[in-house]
Amino acid sequence: MLALVRRLLVVLALFASTLAAQEPRTTEQITVERILIDARVTDLSGDPILGLAADDFVVRVDGKPAKVESVVWIPDTMTARVAAGLDEEDVDTGKETRRGRFFIYFVQTDFAREPSRIGGQLQFLPYAQKMIDGLEPGDRVAVFSFDSHMKFQLDFSDDKSEIEFALRRSVLTSEPPPPRPVYSPSLASRLDRKQMLECARPEVAFIYVANAVRNIPGPKTMILFGWGLGHLFGGRVTMDSKYPIARYALESSRVSVFALDMSIADYHSLEVGLEKTAADTGGFYAKTHIFPQRAVDRLQKTLSGHYELEVRKPSGLPLGQHELEVNVKRRGVYVMARSSFVDKP
């Protein structure tokens, strides 16, 4: 009897050890969340500053230091690729792959036909043509305009003559025909014609454009040919109530706004809104009524490449919007990066 009991105990012990071996072990896992930031660092004329590493950047979130985990320089034009040590042969042999840039030309046309505004647009058109001539193979442009409402002039295209025609047509207030269908990525299926007709503010149009390009990977560039954003009341300019949503949509879709002021004026009140939109999204603001070629040159050089920063998010941040500050440890440079991010659950 005693021997039988001993045998049963041995069997139970072996069974228990087998279960323990099969039982999955639980380990504590720590997830470190990171923020992806597109940054452009140039001198004051727009020439990119190359060779920057993680230690050269200083990033703060709500004023608190955030660790820059990695920095990668992305050359976006042939000139930038040559400067980075890549040449045409590298591209042809597949050593370096370039996807091409995505541009959104957004023309803010004055429905009231104010001479200082429409005159500035017409005056700048020859310089805009030079911008189009400077596009590289693989680059694609979509064109929107806004006067009394949002208008879709051209879906993404690499045809320079088509882009030029759409841009010149944007100065008019007539309703354009629906853009011709294009291969993916196409924005036509992501835009609602009724919404565009009812869109009464350019800031709302920014939301629709940002949402339409959200699924396109990588950074996108909006070139805003504008005359002003915001409302002037009591001698002070305030942003539209929809602007915070537009800012979030643009940042989430990795769209940087470069605002080219078309007004023929040394200063006007609504330029404040153009400046803010550009600064918030990682672009710059420039006047075009004096030295327009200088603005075009700076824009083209600035858009020749960018840095991608991977930043460790500081612990203990509450959910919601947080301010971002991106700087480099050098003097005489211009740093462009989005100024906020939204921490979501």
- H helix or E strand, kind and range, residue 311: strand 305-312
- At 87 the pLDDT is 59
Q: What's the CA gap between 108 and 229, in Å, rounded? A: 10
All residue ranges of the chain with pLDDT < 50 are 1-5, 8-31, 91-96
- Separation CA 200–CA 231 (nearest Å): 14
Domains in the chain and their CATH numbers?
Answer: 34-97+307-343 (no CATH), 102-302 (3.40.50.410)
pLDDT digits (tens, 9 = 90+) for 141-166: 999 999 999 999 999 999 999 999 99
Kindly state the greatest CA–CA separation across the chain. 111
Per-residue confidence (pLDDT) for residue 329, from 0 to 100:
95
Distance CA(268)–CA(152), nearest Å, equals: 28
| Proportion of the chain in helix, strand, coil states, percent, rounded to 5 | 35, 30, 40
Query: At a CB cut-off of 8 Å and minimum separation 6, what does 217 contact?
Result: none
Q: What is the pLDDT of residue 93?
A: 43
Query: Phi and psi (nearest 5°) for 185?
Result: -85, 135
How far apart are alpha carbons 102 and 293 in whole angstroms?
22
pLDDT for the residue 22: 47
Is 253 in contact with 220 (CB distance < 8 Å)? yes
